[in-house]
Amino acid sequence: MVGLFKKLFTLLPHHIAYAHCDIPCGIYDPYYAQVAGHTVLRMTNLILDRKASGGNPPFQERKEIIHDISRFTKVKEEHAEILKHEIRVIWGDYFKEEHIKEYPHLHELVFSIMKLASKARQEIDIETANELLEKVQEFSEIFLKTKGVTPIRVPSLYPTGLDMVVYSK
């Protein structure tokens, strides 16, 4: 009997869903996008710091520098992609037409975030990483306003020394 169900199931049309939540659950938060933005910025700083310590060091130290820069780059790229994913899900699944009417620059903001995240992956540019985080914070503020809460910026505990957008009721 199990074999019959397996055969029937394979004949029926079905799709694999890749989304935050297909219920929809209503649980969205740009927190992880902000953390990813801080991580991209931090990794960019670490890469630049490690490169600055370069010069012409002995072979063993050069290996360590290459190792460190490789690891920082991998994490920077992973978190830029996490950031893009988090923003895409909120933009595509949460925001509705009424939000776009209230915040007409939202599409342009998301487009800018996507482009900056890609650029942050491709380059080692502190200005790009800073601008990316700033745009994600702006996105977070808009999101929180649509939830009926007041966004505020508070100092993060991260080595970037920059803020996180949170809310106050």
Q: How many domains does the chain have?
A: 1
What residues make up the domain containing 94? Answer: 38-168
Summarize pLDDT for 54-110 with one digit per residue, the tens: 678 888 888 999 999 999 999 999 999 999 999 999 999 999 999 999 999 999 999
DSSP assignments along 125-151, one per residue: -HHHHHHHHHHHHHHHHHHHHHTT-EE
Confirm whether 5 is domain-assigned. Answer: no
Lowest mean pLDDT among 32-41, 51-60, 114-123, 151-160: 51-60
Confirm whether 98 is domain-assigned. Answer: yes
pTM confidence score: 0.84
On whether the CB atoms of residues 136 and 117 are closer than 8 A, the answer is no
Q: Which of the pair, 103 or 15, is modelled with greater confidence? A: 103
Distances (CA, A) of 62 to 50, 58, 65, 136, 159: 11, 6, 5, 35, 25
Dihedral-angle region of residue 157 (phi above 0 means left; psi in -120 to 50 means alpha; beta otherwise): alpha
Summarize pLDDT for 18-50 with one digit per residue, the tens: 445 556 677 899 999 999 999 999 999 999 999
Confirm whether 15 is domain-assigned. Answer: no
Q: Is the pLDDT of residue 7 over 80?
A: no
Q: What is the pLDDT of residue 9?
A: 46
What CATH code is carried by the domain that includes residue 112? 1.20.120.400
The two tokens of residue 97 are 């037409």
Confirm whether 94 is domain-assigned. Answer: yes
Confirm whether 26 is domain-assigned. Answer: no
